[in-house]
Amino acid sequence: MPCATADEVGLIELLDAVRYADPNTLCSPSCRQALEWSDWETSVSKAMYELLRTLENVLRSTISSQLTAHFGQADWWNARRLRLTYGTTEKIRQAEEKLRRAGVPLTPTTVQREVTLGFWVSLIGRGLDYETQLWRPMSGGFLGYRGRREPLHERLNHLRLLRNKVAHQDRIGGRDLAADRRSVLTVIRYVSESAARRLDVADAAIPALLASRPGTCSQRSEGAS
């Protein structure tokens, strides 16, 4: 006897709910517990997206103000003495193109708001000696960070991949989301202790959701796991 009604089976298919479920909790491929997982995943993705959005804003304003001061121009990426990789230049060009098509005036602020988290993460990458060209001038914005550039880049790249998963509606519920949350707060703390504290308090959602993951369907037979 399936646990889901015919209506629920239709919904499970329509929402592609099984995609978000932990298969070890379902009694069958059309178990109604998949709907619980789908709702839970929506909530946890939304909460994680909010954290990552704050991370992106913090990175943008920090890197931007450091590089603007260093190069003496708000469109620091056009500085004559700066050599950027094709990839970096291309991301700027695509952002400008998108703004132009949308009829938004091109200013250093609008362009920097348009580029994605991946752009900011790439600036902390190896690039064309970005270590000397970008990391040294911007590192003053990360006063809470004492390490080398590479581990920070690695941490940020991991969060960038998580952001892409959220944006592509992939399942993130199987990850160690508590560690991901800590990682976001860690990077923000490098920039601003008070911003990290504020975000930690503001995000009650992820800890609550992690404490209330959907359980196993009661019709799942013992030993099926």
Element (H, E) at 79: none
Angle separating helix axes 177-191 and 33-71, nearest 10 degrees: 20
Cα separation values, 124 from 35, 51, 138, 157, 167, Å: 40, 20, 9, 10, 22
Q: Is the CB of 73 or the CB of 219 nearer to Zn ion? A: 219
**Nearest approach, Cβ of residue 151 and Zn ion (Å):** 44
Q: Is the CB of 30 or the CB of 64 nearer to Zn ion? A: 30
**Nearest approach, Cβ of residue 4 and Zn ion (Å):** 7
**Torsion, Cα of 99, 103, 108, 111 (10° steps):** -10
Q: Is the CB of 85 or the CB of 219 nearer to Zn ion? A: 219
Using CB atoms within 10 A of its CB, is residue 131 exposed (0-12), middle (13-18) or buried (19+)?
A: middle
Hey, what are 216's tokens?
A: 């196993």
**Nearest approach, Cβ of residue 21 and Zn ion (Å):** 10
Q: Is the CB of 23 or the CB of 151 nearer to Zn ion? A: 23
Cβ atoms of residues 93 and 115 within 8 Å: no
**Nearest approach, Cβ of residue 1 and Zn ion (Å):** 10
Q: Is the CB of 9 or the CB of 52 nearer to Zn ion? A: 9
**Nearest approach, Cβ of residue 28 and Zn ion (Å):** 6
**Nearest approach, Cβ of residue 2 and Zn ion (Å):** 7
Cα separation values, 206 from 36, 115, 161, 178, 195, Å: 16, 27, 18, 8, 18
| Pairwise CA distance, residues 134 & 70, whole Å | 9
Q: Is the CB of 178 or the CB of 224 nearer to Zn ion? A: 224
Q: Give me the residues that bind Zn ion (CB under 5 A), please.
A: 3, 27, 31, 217, 219
Element (H, E) at 35: helix 33-71
Cβ atoms of residues 189 and 140 within 8 Å: no
